[in-house]
Chain A
């Protein structure tokens, strides 16, 4: 009986690995390559004990703790300690994202498209596909962990020993596996792919916020969040094994629960009930724009709420930042060089850049929905009625471009509303709005790039995410580790005036807007001329 449930799992595992071999290689090369590349980079940037000690002090401020977690090994702050402090949380999150994509792709997405039915008609068990997906994911994460560990250890950097490096890889792997299991669970609950991956990403964000809240206050909250738990492994400092084992245990339990739920539900259904819908369409649903809004409605509200909460969370620590800085002589000395501006103001600059790039994710994904619709053959329904290609393209363009502005406005509001409560002398709302809106041209250039891809290289739209990833690391790493200026200048985000620390630079913004408009016009022309491709 149990044999029947799992029949054919190993064949399916091989099939999944075969199907995704290119994708897996790209993901692994990207994640492992980036992590390993950063090892020697950090070693070169912070050569002396003193430099690292200064960094340690910076990392101990509440904003950084909220962002990447607590500082370990302050007494002997080696390159390894600094590296894991700055990198581990983010790399674990990226591993989580990869696993969420991978699992939804092979479970709910296959089920929704009807491919699963074909598989299930073969002599394979009811749980075989989920089992095979989990086995494939296990393999991918183990490879990622081992390669990362070996790669980091290979440089023989002082403070980055073999054991610590393996721990670093191991933490990334186990985090990835945990989110794979959690996603598998969500896939059993909801009846469609979009909701399942939506739940998974909200869950990821929630755990990150829980960890941030815990690290700033009640540590118990951090331990509840796997993203906080893993940091307690104190990689390169104490290399504690219990958090990894604990998370492994949780992962096994979650996987078992997902398998159990998969066993008791019917193919193509979710455990959460489907409500009957309306027999007639609302007034809104009478144009391509109305349809696009209807399709994206949930995502729009979820992203708006998430961005506002994020901004408010950062706003809540502005007050702590100020007192932290004034109680620390060393940091005070560093920031005294730029005494014209408060520490908070200098920090807003970095936070604003991060929030703007975070806000670009929905902008790009909303725009790329137009391509998704095309691939699924749904655009055909509209174009065969009296809808032109430009009208269809414009529907998503309008929503995506406005979304960028709305999210930046919410960021400014989030920073200001909570920040002004915690700060004695907070910058005005106008300053926040100005700082946030300065990023809008950069977001639009990113949007323009994504639209050009949709119009001219419809099978390569993922490149826009790679570019966004590059932007994130060049600006984020660039601002904490003095990278050459040109690395930053390759992304539109590197050309934005850093208000309030810098003056408003109208010229740069106008140039970016002109570039964006040019990209928009070209992409409209291209989309109107090309074949629809399934």
Chain B
């Protein structure tokens, strides 16, 4: 069953087109990474999903309900962390967490205390004194302390230190294990790689690629570093081979992943001494779209 369904959504601000026919799906129990550079339209898409902005064209639904008309009903089952967490300067972190949890109903005191401890947050401090990371922790504690079926997280770790980032990853793993769905917008690719089943890449308001990491990797190049007894013939002429670099320790190049098998059988004629193959990182995947 699809939890989130974005169907040809276009959003214009005056003459500026922020989103152009965006499609996005998230299935039950899935963690979906939503990646793209700053200003690509990640936050706009998420704000439309949260019913904060109205789509100019197209439709979007969560749990099969329209995100604009049934926002309040939908939000009872959603936990959300905005990208830019701005809090009330004269309220304490603890007060804000309580307010947020109460507004969704379903209060779980033990989980709140546990999360505050794990995220190492001082709930007695006024929000005015919190750093960006600490404000994000407030939003994260409020999100994970509430019972939800879907977690929508907009760049939730951009201000967290590595220690807190791993606490965050644990939290996502926990909700995933419990069968919940997560939409995680991020530009920290290692995090997406670690947590997500599927990835959608957005650029200038358009989804330019989406699928499982495996599928996406298939479309890209694998890095090979190889040493053979005799020089490999025909490598430079092979159209699937790119960026050849020779060094005393052997030869390094990248190859279109779909042609990997054919190339290896070709190379085996020249007596392979050592062979190292590295699958493309999400980073390379990502960069390829922006070259």
Contacts and interface: CB of A to CB of B under 8 A. Distances in A.
B125 interface: yes
B94 A279 contact: yes
Interface of A: 112, 191-192, 194, 274, 276-282, 285-288, 290-291, 294-295, 376-378, 380-388, 529-532
Interface residues of B, number: 40
Contacts of B51: 383
Contacts of B72: 386-388
Given A280-B95, A381-B100, 18 more contacts: A192-B89, A278-B92, A278-B124, A279-B92, A279-B94, A279-B124, A280-B123, A281-B96, A282-B95, A285-B99, A285-B102, A286-B102, A381-B87, A383-B50, A384-B50, A384-B75, A386-B103, A531-B53
B88 A295 contact: yes
B82 A380 contact: yes
A277 B95 contact: yes
Name A's interface SS.
loop
Nearest to B46: A384
A214 to B, nearest CB: 35
Interface string B100-132: 101111000000000000000001111011000
Interface in B20-57: 47, 50-54
A385 B103 contact: yes
B90 interface: yes
A302 B215 CA distance: 63
A313 B111 CA distance: 55
Given A192-B128, A278-B95, A377-B84, A387 B103 contact: yes
Contacts of B97: 281
A356 to B, nearest CB: 30
Given A378-B88, A384-B52, A280 B98 contact: yes
Closest 10 pairs (CB-CB, A-B): A281-B98, A277-B92, A385-B103, A286-B102, A281-B95, A279-B94, A384-B80, A279-B123, A377-B86, A531-B53
B141 interface: no
B76 interface: yes
B78 interface: yes
B71 interface: yes
A386 B76 contact: yes
A376 B86 contact: yes
B91 interface: yes
B89 A112 contact: yes
B52 A383 contact: yes
B82 A191 contact: no
Given A274-B126, A281-B99, A380-B52, A386 B104 contact: yes
B82 A381 contact: yes
Interface string B131-159: 00000000100000000000000000000
A496 B259 CA distance: 86
Contact of B52 (A112, A282, A531): A531
Nearest to A274: B126
B62 to A, nearest CB: 12
Given A191-B128, A274-B129, A278-B124, A384 B88 contact: no
A286 B86 CA distance: 19
